[in-house]
Amino acid sequence: MAIKITDECINCGACEPECPNNAIYDAGAAWRFSDGTGLRGIIDFGDGNTLNAEETQAALSDDIYYIVPDKCTECVGFHDEPQCAAVCPVDCCVDDEDIRESEEELLAKKEWLHMNE
């Protein structure tokens, strides 16, 4: 699964620098797959979809910090627990019940995100 930030977020920003995949962005901030990863150029998602990793993507939230699910690995392969949840002063970084991934899937995602580093 991925982690999500709930609307209890106070926009303190404590979580953002803790993410090893640069999956956390400030409210209203655009994002890219290339931010904080080894992804460059055209990336293949393995399902027939491709995208330029440097292409700017629209913000997922205009009100609170947000986590890009396709970049979140729950810190698997980096830390013993999600670092955003560990540092959040209001406990608003929680499991996203809509996105379920096994440890193997999260490790594979980590390898994919950082393959060219």
pLDDT tens, position by position, 72-92: 999 999 999 999 999 999 999
- How many independent structural domains does the chain possess? 1
Q: Using CA atoms of 20, 65, 51, 97 in order, give the dihedral in degrees to the nearest 10.
A: 80
The answer to whether residue 96 is domain-embedded is yes
What residue numbers bound the domain in which 102 lies?
1-112
- pLDDT at residue 116, as a whole number: 78
The answer to whether residue 117 is domain-embedded is no
The answer to whether residue 60 is domain-embedded is yes
3-state helix, strand, coil in the chain (%, to 5): 20, 15, 65
Q: Assign residue 36 the CATH number of its domain.
A: 3.30.70.20
| pLDDT (tens digit per residue) in 60-71 | 999 999 999 999
The answer to whether residue 86 is domain-embedded is yes
- Residue 1 pLDDT > 80: no
Res. 23 pLDDT band, cuts 50 70 90: very high
